[in-house]
Amino acid sequence: MTAVAPDPRLAERAVLRFPEGFRWGAATASYQIEGAAAEDGRTPSIWDTYARTPGRVFQGHSGDVACDHYHRYRDDVRLMAELGLGTYRFSVAWPRIKPDGSGPVNARGLDFYDRLVDELLSHGIEPMATLYHWDLPQVLEDRGGWTNRDTAYYLADLAAATVTRLGDRVATWTTLNEPWCSAFLGYGSGDHAPGRQDPVAALEAVHHLLLGHGLSVRALRAGGAREVSLTLNLACVRPDDPADPHDLAAVRHIDGLHNRIWLDAVLKGGYPQDMRALLARFGVDRRVEPGDEAVIASPIDLLGVNFYQPSRVRAGVGVTCGPANPGSEGCEYVPQDLPVTAMGWPVDATALYELLMRLSTDYPGTPLMITENGAAYDDVLVGDRVADADRIGYLDAHLRAVHAAVSEGADVRGYLAWSLLDNYEWAYGYGKRFGIVHVDYDTQRRTPKDSARWFTDVIGRNGLS
Ligand code: IFM
């Protein structure tokens, strides 16, 4: 019998393909990779201060050098091109561009992003710029930071200055990255800079971040931005007992803080009733001035979704979900019987599928993009190789979840891995590695992990085998 050659169409069918034009890439953030903390006019951000405060960050690590990307960006862009990335999401450092937070533009600060954008474009990589990924100039924090309404207007000034310089080459702009973290970890639990622990301050920060977002959307559009977005770290919050009305009420509160307070304000024209009541309970409703909600609801073109882990809550007596969740008395997080990453975060990709389907139902009409997804594992570099099968498993499972949601109608336009490089993981310093590329912090040598090679294949076939 003659052997029959396999039908190439079968191989085609075995691949889970993403829609034509799906955007693939990776993300980073200024303070986490740039280093050069005192160069070319940059002033300290709240993270420089926080990192220097004893006991705040793992082993006192700071972003002073980080991945030295400020000096090595050309090599990093070349690496991105070798990996086949089509999109690169980075953030600009506010204290580089406006060293005194609100005053004149520092041309040398913008020059860096100008060079970076040109380098990306010359390698065929689409730049996607985020205005605020947590590095508020310390001088602004000294004036109240996000509890001060002025900060919202200063963010819009930063937007105007940045889009004026880069808008001819950067099409896609993001105002804020994960304002939940800025507000609730920065001012509520104090786990992030500036390290304040005050529920009133946290809720004031929510409103001023959202106001800053809306004002920046308008400034970006006025400056000619073609695609304007906001990136949220949204949660899939599940009840411990779906039949228990108290557990469902606990879910509603945590869902309000993580999801609806942001989503409804931006996409539905105003704060949801229960979150409005929460603002009033803490006396923060008086910060909401007439017209603010309309500014916040300025139309966006894309909603960025950052997703890492599911959460589960239940009702209880004498418990709370902690200071990052104001008003959560009577709710608690429940441990989940799931595998965890090196962060201790439970892994369950079905939660991403549920989240995307929920967004499609509750907030239709806004295209979505996964602007961060990934996992930290305790990687080991052996010779020239990091065999990070766990990370590949994580990414593969989450991409399957995205694919399933897309197949059922979710309008997801792209997927960006967090992160391109191992980097400064905030209060965990350099102790946690999220990169698909390993960084040796002593030599600054970059080594693509197995996951990077795997991701290159995924991008190449626009799908999963
Ligand atoms: O490293 C962070 C990033 O800055 C924002 N999103 C979550 C990542 C992992 O914690």
DSSP string, 280-310: HHTT-GGG--TTHHHHHT---SEEEEEE---
How many CB atoms are closer than 10 A to CB 349? 21
Q: Which of 178, 153, 47, 164 is nearest to 97 (CA)?
A: 164
% of the chain at pLDDT higher than 90 = 97
Ligand 1 atom 10, closest CA:
425
Question: Is ligand 1 within 6 A of the CB of residue 29?
Answer: yes
Report d(CA 176, CA 135) in Å as an integer: 11
Residue 322's pLDDT is 98
Ligand 1 midpoint to CA 376 (Å): 10
Specify the ligand 1 atom closest to the Cα of 423: 1
Among 182, 347, 398, 419, the mutation site with the greatest number of ligand 1 atoms within 8 A of its Cβ is 419
Determine whether 227 is an active site residue.
no
Question: Is ligand 1 within 6 A of the CB of residue 372?
Answer: yes
**Active-site option among 178, 204, 293, 332:** 178
Specify the ligand 1 atom closest to the Cα of 418: 8
Ligand 1 midpoint to CA 59 (Å): 19
Residue 295's pLDDT is 99
Q: What is the DSSP letter of 186?
A: I
- Is 9 part of any domain? no
Ligand 1 midpoint to CA 52 (Å): 20
- Is 4 part of any domain? no
Which single residue is written with the structure tokens 């949601």? 405
Residue 1's pLDDT is 37
Are 101 and 45 spatial neighbours (Cβ–Cβ below 8 Å)?
A: no
Residue 17's pLDDT is 97
Are 65 and 35 spatial neighbours (Cβ–Cβ below 8 Å)?
A: yes
Ligand 1 atom 4, closest CA:
29
- Is 2 part of any domain? no
Question: Is ligand 1 within 6 A of the CB of residue 178?
Answer: yes
Ligand 1 midpoint to CA 231 (Å): 12
- Is 10 part of any domain? no
Q: What is the DSSP letter of 365?
A: T
Among 32, 377, 425, the mutation site with the greatest number of ligand 1 atoms within 8 A of its Cβ is 425
- Is 264 part of any domain? yes
Residue 2's pLDDT is 41
Report d(CA 405, CA 89) in Å as an integer: 23
Report d(CA 140, CA 72) in Å as an integer: 29
Helix (H) or strand (E) holding 315: strand 311-315
Ligand 1 atom 1, closest CA:
425
Ligand 1 midpoint to CA 425 (Å): 7
- Is 8 part of any domain? no
pTM above threshold 0.85: yes
Residue 3's pLDDT is 44
State how far Cα 315 lies from the chain centre.
29
Report d(CA 237, CA 257) in Å as an integer: 11
| Burial track 253-280 (b if 16+ CB lie within 10 A, e otherwise) | bbbbbbbbbbbbbbbeebbbebbbebbe
Question: Is ligand 1 within 6 A of the CB of residue 452?
Answer: no
Report d(CA 111, CA 165) in Å as an integer: 9
Please state the residue numbers annotated as binding site for substrate.
32, 133, 177, 308, 418, 425-426
Q: Give the range of the structural domain holding residue 422, as residue numbers without chain letter.
A: 25-459
* Structural tokens at position 195: 């390290």
Report d(CA 417, CA 421) in Å as an integer: 10
> Pairing mode, if any, of strands 172-177 and 227-233?
parallel
Q: Is 227 helix (H, G, I), strand (E, B) or coil?
A: strand
Q: What is the DSSP letter of 182?
A: I
Specify the ligand 1 atom closest to the Cα of 434: 9
Are 439 and 379 spatial neighbours (Cβ–Cβ below 8 Å)?
A: no
Please state the residue numbers annotated as binding site.
32, 133, 177, 308, 418, 425-426
- Is 7 part of any domain? no
- Is 201 part of any domain? yes
Question: Is ligand 1 within 6 A of the CB of residue 306?
Answer: yes
307 DSSP β-pair partners: 373
> What are the pLDDT digits (tens) for 386-435?
999 999 999 999 999 999 999 999 999 999 999 999 999 999 999 999 99
Residues of the chain falling short of pLDDT 50: 1-6, 9-11
Q: Which of 392, 399, 429, 430 is nearest to 416 (CA)?
A: 399
- Half-sphere exposure of residue 184: CA atoms within 13 angstroms, side-chain side: 20
Give the N- to C-terminal CA distance of the chain in Å, as an integer. Answer: 30
Report d(CA 109, CA 333) in Å as an integer: 42
The number of domains in the chain is: 1
Ligand 1 midpoint to CA 222 (Å): 30
What CATH code is carried by the domain that includes residue 238? 3.20.20.80
Report d(CA 266, CA 23) in Å as an integer: 24
Specify the ligand 1 atom closest to the Cα of 426: 1
Determine whether 178 is an active site residue.
yes
Q: Is 363 helix (H, G, I), strand (E, B) or coil?
A: coil
State how far Cα 206 lies from the chain centre.
16
